[in-house]
Amino acid sequence: MNRIAILTSGGDAPGMNAVIRSVVRTAIYEGAEVYGVENGFEGLIDGKVKRLYESSVGDIIQRGGTILGTSRSERFRTEEGFKKALGVLEVFGINKVIVAGGDGSLRGALDLSKAGIDVVGIPLSIDNDLGYTDYTIGFFTAVDTVTEAVSRIRDTTEAHGRANIVEVMGRDCGDIALFSGLAVGAESIIVPEKIETIEEVAKKAIVRRNRGKKYHIIIMAEGAGSSEEFAEKFEDLTGIETKVTVLGYVQRGGKPNVVDIMLASTIANKAVKESLRENASFAIGYTDGEVRVFDLKDALKIEKKFNRSVNDVLNITSI
């Protein structure tokens, strides 16, 4: 009897519940037992494991958050905590673990793999910061959330003739800023991967103002620096009254959109089937329009590349 455990780890993202639902129902369909681990690797250490059934995941596909809970576990990185986690898997007779989360979570999965546990990683992160997959689950919903928020911010910004620096999530990857910037028609984006001086951004704003532009929207990823300092200097250089809006955790919440539900359901389905097919560890991703299987260790070595084609479109259409 195959016993599969599913845990959600790290920062929450829209689509986590859709992943859980697809894992549970696919596993049961395939004749396996499935267990949910509460609060990620922390719950694994503490033995917070429960059997899941078809009814356990009813009516959750469109809910935000995660019914299993999540956490960032420092204890899992310690020898003592790691051994406790392995002991819990042994006690419950669990021989397969599916980990849904971002880069740090999948590296935790890799540690389990090195200890002899069959693991499958599912890319779940609003930042879209994993290099082996074109898109992570939760990313497009976060972009939708930013787009909707900016549409409201624009009304006030235009009414007062101001500029607004909208700070979005993205410590090392600026994809939320990039894609939402294109979607809302932002004048500029500030991201960690792209070096654009504040003088260049200010010059663009002055040129637009001189031809009649009454307001200015700039999307800035949190990893690109201080939005408050940027706004202060931007105002000094342009003479345009400038405000800052930090969207924060609102980007993680809310029900997933149809794209993320589809990604979550199909990727999780593939994760279960691949875990039952072979005794090995994988990462499941979405590339070139297909759900694909990657060696977990190799997948985590793939560098995330900045999408320059989308950036080129934004630069051309925001002149």
Residues known to be catalytic: 127
Query: Angle of helix 198-210 relative to helix 227-238, nearest 10 degrees?
Result: 50
**Cα-flanking dihedrals φ and ψ of residue 310, to 5°?**
-65, -40
**In 3D, which of 244, 224, 222 has the Cα closest to residue 126?**
222
CA within 13 Å, CB half, 317: 13
Longest dimension (CA), the chain: 71
d(CA 171, CA 96): 32
Angstrom distance (rounded) from CA 139 to CA 124: 8
b/e sequence 113-130, b meaning 16+ C-beta within 10 Å = beeebbbbbbbbbbbbbb
Q: Give the span between the Cα atoms of 175 and 311, in whole angstroms.
A: 10
